[in-house]
Amino acid sequence: MKNKYSYSFLILTIILLVLFCVNISLGSISIPLKTIVSSFFTATDSLSNQEYIIQNYRLPKAITAVLVGSGLGISGLLMQTLFRNPLAGPFVLGITSGASLGVALVILGSSIFGGFLATFLLTKWSLVIAASLGSFLVLLLVLIVSSKVRDTMAILIIGLMFGSITSAIVSVLSYFSSAEQLQQYIFWGFGSLGDLDWSELQIFALLYSLGIGFSILSIKGLNTLLLGENYAKSLGLNIKQSRLLIIIATSLLAGTITAFAGPIAFIGLAIPHVTRQVFNTSNHKTLLPAVFLFGAIIMLICDSIAQLPNSDYLLPINAITSLIGAPVVIWLLVRQRKMAF
Amino acid sequence: MLQNKTFLLLLFSALFFLNCKEDKGIPVKLPPTQNPTTQKVSNTIAYAEGFSISTVSDFKVLKINNPWPNAEKTYRYVLISKEEAAKRSFMKGEYDGIIITPVKRIVVTSTTHIPALELLNEEETLIGFPGTDYVSSEKTRQRIDNGSVRELGKNEGLNTEVLLSLNPDVVIGFGVDGTSKSLNTINKARIPVIYNGDWVEKSPLAKAEWIKFFGALYNKTTQADSIFKTIETDYKAAQKLAQTVSKRPTVISGAMHKDVWYLPNGTSTEAQFLKDANVDYLYADTEGTGSLALSFETVFEKAKSADLWLSPSYYPTMDALKQANTHYTQFDAFKNNAIYTFSNTTGKTGGVLYYEIGLARPDLVLKDIIKICHPELLPEYTPYFFKPLK
């Protein structure tokens, strides 16, 4: 199995590395290659403007793009296999909705709760903590539900319902909020990759790695689940345990990413499909690393486009991911005439 | 969710009319404009493009040309005395509203309308306002506190029942695109609604000139003209004073939301103030309708060494700015503590004074900026709105 795909993996890895370098070299201002290279060897306190941009803005942004793309792709893959539903993604299960609610409560709720929350509001960590708490609480809810409801479709619908409740609460909160608070919430909703400094990125990477670790642990369960829950049971798989492992991995990945980069649309849903079309396999030992590579590559491309190289403007990353991603999936499906799932 | 976002965007667009809630009451005494009766007045509208007043036999016609950007319709209102109105009739649909002047009971919907009422000594006519907490002017604040001004909810969702029960002579609304459902309902109930387009005007003086619009409603045209004349004279004197210096500090404005830096474009009112204060606003040569939305890289390269930084969004302290994004600390203006904001100058209930009074008193805004940028020109002057960010 490994030999069959090793060339594909090699090529994808090279593409990823090249795109990473391209992403760093492109931006609103043109920076000569010499400066880009020198910025990696210059001490932090003696950086020129352009070196500062490379070292403290573009590099963390490119790394964030890799983490976001791969993480969302993998959590989408996990959800699709768990629910045996091609439409599943991190948005399903209400994980992203939970994060949004957490953020809305902090930004929009500060005028209602006042005091401590209002002063806490302007720190970036408050949003990260709120979003993580939000998705974690939804995870807990899903876990409780899944212990009572055996049907995965029911859990899926409960997740969607939670999304509806969330947006209703956000509507009420926004009605009572000031323009500045609404503005802040809207900007969070656009998604952003370039907003993390190195210390934030470290914590992001740590939580992300935990999520990836859980994902790798769940590979065996994922492959068996593809055969159907009853068959998996007959093979001796502890369905409950596998489900728990997969849900934890997804929540960690999707929750952390939403917390740090905002709700990024489409990637979670589309990347697994693109990967399956190209690799034509359902073995998660192959799919997982392939989704990692594809997710990172596509996110880097999206970010490079959102930067509108050499222009002063930036487009919201959220819009680009859908604009670029959706036609790719349509094209693949039309070409293959069926969905590999 | 999409509907929700549209709603949020609409409210966001009304940013200049709203303000943040912080419980810091900083009493600010504004200098009065000079006694109007001593001023020589002219009856023309010199700067504002959004409205005009003409006299037709025994009544006046108020035309509103541009109540929101790219408005297609011109709204025409009859301003007529009670006696004359009893004598004549108008064709249905000929005008968008008949308003009996002088107005005795008024509802306004933006804090920017309040100073006009106060300058004309007509604050007693105000009977309702949406979001009374945003009002900071002491006279009106007192009337709100003693229950003379009814709370009408939020501007985008006016409490129609309460408004109808108040039965005002006229409602002064403002619209982002003229689709306010509650204002339409009120209009259908035969309470005339006039859309005020002061915020669409391009220059500070044009915005301030809308006091003449209120003057017409109260039959105080001469007084309104005179008040505006004083403001105009003061503004021009300050502008002339600023031109006497040769050293122009470089100025940056706005702040980042996520990694996009929003700042006023070169044709905005804010940029006009900076131009009149004779400073080198780094984005003075840009054009556009909304704010500039630039990438961090662009702004960093251009503005890192700017001398001054005005209005860094709503951040209340240097620390808040730093916590929001560490990149801010790299700017010279941050390192030299040369950041000034108006968002900490609030009234008793948290309304930002700049949003309320700045539009009516551009002379004070300009002097504030001159004091910050060329302190030697106005040694005795204390800024009203802009304070250093601590």
pLDDT tens digits, residue range B213-228?
999 999 999 999 999 9
Q: Check CB contact under 8 Å for B298 and A29.
A: yes
- Mean pLDDT across B103-110: 94
Q: Rounded distance, CA A56 to CA A40, Å?
A: 10
Q: Residue A170 above 60 pLDDT? A: yes
Chain A residues whose beta carbon lies within 8 Å of the beta carbon of residue B300: 49, 52-53, 57
Chain A residues whose beta carbon lies within 8 Å of the beta carbon of residue B327: 56-57, 197
Query: Looking at residue B14, what is its pLDDT?
Result: 40
Q: Residue B279 above 80 pLDDT? A: yes
CB atoms within 10 A of CB B173: 25
Instruction: For chains A and B, count residue pairs whose Cβ atoms are closer than 8 Å.
Output: 114
Q: Check CB contact under 8 Å for A180 and B20.
A: yes
Tokens 């209120």 correspond to what residue? B214
B1, B4, B21 member nearest A111 (Cβ): B21
- Mean pLDDT across B198-203: 90
Q: Check CB contact under 8 Å for B315 and A122.
A: yes
Query: Looking at residue B69, what is its pLDDT?
Result: 84
Among A257-271, B1-15, B352-366, name the one with the lowest average pLDDT: B1-15
Q: Which residue has the higher pLDDT, B69 or B362?
A: B362
Determine the residue among A31, A53, A58, A305 to mutate to test chain B binding: the one whose Cβ has the most chain B Cβ atoms within 10 Å.
A53
Strands B157-158 and B170-173: unpaired
- What confidence tier does A298 reach under pLDDT thresholds 50, 70, 90? very high
* B300/chain A closest Cα distance in angstroms: 7
CA-to-CA separations, A79 to A91, A231, B46, B282, in angstroms, rounded: 10, 19, 65, 49
Interface of B with A (CB under 8 A): 1, 4-5, 7-9, 11-12, 14-15, 18-23, 154, 157, 257-260, 292-298, 300-301, 304, 313-316, 320, 323-327, 330
- Mean pLDDT across B374-390: 94
| Average per-residue pLDDT for chain A | 84
* B258/chain A closest Cα distance in angstroms: 5
On the 0-12 / 13-18 / 19+ scale of CB atoms within 10 A, B367 is buried
Chain B residues whose beta carbon lies within 8 Å of the beta carbon of residue A175: 154, 157
Q: Check CB contact under 8 Å for A49 and B300.
A: yes
Q: Residue B43 above 60 pLDDT? A: no
Q: Which residue of A has its CA nearest to B17?
A: A179
Write down how long chain A is.
Answer: 341
- Mean pLDDT across A268-279: 88
CA-to-CA separations, A144 to A111, A155, B379, in angstroms, rounded: 32, 10, 69
- Mean pLDDT across B230-234: 96
- Mean pLDDT across A245-260: 86
Q: Rounded distance, CA B64 to CA B61, Å?
A: 10
On whether the CB atoms of residues A313 and B293 are closer than 8 A, the answer is yes
Q: Residue B165 above 60 pLDDT? A: yes
- What confidence tier does B41 reach under pLDDT thresholds 50, 70, 90? very low
Q: Rounded distance, CA B64 to CA B325, Å?
A: 43
Q: What angle do CA B30, B14, A185 make, to 5 degrees?
A: 115
Chain B residues whose beta carbon lies within 8 Å of the beta carbon of residue A186: 5, 8-9, 12
* 3-class SS of residue A335: helix
Chain A residues whose beta carbon lies within 8 Å of the beta carbon of residue B297: 27-29, 53, 57-58
Q: Rounded distance, CA A88 to CA A82, Å?
A: 9
Q: Check CB contact under 8 Å for B258 and A262.
A: yes
Q: Does A194 touch chain B (CB under 8 A)?
A: yes
- Mean pLDDT across B260-274: 92
Query: Looking at residue B155, what is its pLDDT?
Result: 62
Q: What is the pLDDT of residues A57-85, one digit of tens each?
A: 999 999 999 999 999 999 999 988 887 87
Q: Does A165 touch chain B (CB under 8 A)?
A: no
Could you tell me which residues come within 8 angstroms of residue A108 by beta carbon, excluding any fewer than 6 positions away? Answer: A170, A173, A174, A176, A177, A181, A182, A185
B8, B12, B258 member nearest A192 (Cβ): B258
Helix or strand (DSSP H, E) at A77: helix A59-83
Chain A residues whose beta carbon lies within 8 Å of the beta carbon of residue B323: 122-124
Query: Looking at residue A272, what is its pLDDT?
Result: 92
Q: Does A111 touch chain B (CB under 8 A)?
A: yes
CB atoms within 10 A of CB B87: 9
Q: Does A113 touch chain B (CB under 8 A)?
A: no
- What confidence tier does B307 reach under pLDDT thresholds 50, 70, 90? very high
| Tokens matching residue A37 | 């290279």
Nearest to A108, CA basis, from B283, B240, B8: B8
Q: Check CB contact under 8 Å for A185 and B8.
A: yes
- Mean pLDDT across A298-315: 86
* 3-class SS of residue B310: strand
CA-to-CA separations, A275 to A12, A27, B273, in angstroms, rounded: 11, 28, 55
Query: Looking at residue A285, what is its pLDDT?
Result: 93
Inter-axis angle of helices B2-13 and A152-175, nearest 10: 20
Q: Which residue of A has its CA nearest to B325?
A: A195
How many angstroms from the chain centroid is the CA of residue B161?
A: 27
Q: Check CB contact under 8 Å for A184 and B257.
A: yes
Q: Which residue of B has its CA nearest to A180?
A: B20
* B269/chain A closest Cα distance in angstroms: 20
Q: Rounded distance, CA B197 to CA B174, Å?
A: 7
Q: Does A122 touch chain B (CB under 8 A)?
A: yes
Determine the residue among A314, A315, A317 to mutate to test chain B binding: the one whose Cβ has the most chain B Cβ atoms within 10 Å.
A314
Q: Residue B386 above 90 pLDDT? A: yes
| Tokens matching residue A205 | 């990477």
Chain A residues whose beta carbon lies within 8 Å of the beta carbon of residue B9: 186
Among A39-48, B160-169, B271-280, B341-350, name the one with the lowest average pLDDT: A39-48
Query: Looking at residue B251, what is its pLDDT?
Result: 96
Chain A residues whose beta carbon lies within 8 Å of the beta carbon of residue B335: none
Query: Looking at residue A113, what is its pLDDT?
Result: 61
Query: Looking at residue B1, what is its pLDDT?
Result: 40
Q: Residue B22 above 60 pLDDT? A: no
Q: What is the pLDDT of residues A125-158, one digit of tens each?
A: 777 778 878 877 887 787 677 778 777 778 778 8
Q: Residue A241 above 70 pLDDT? A: yes
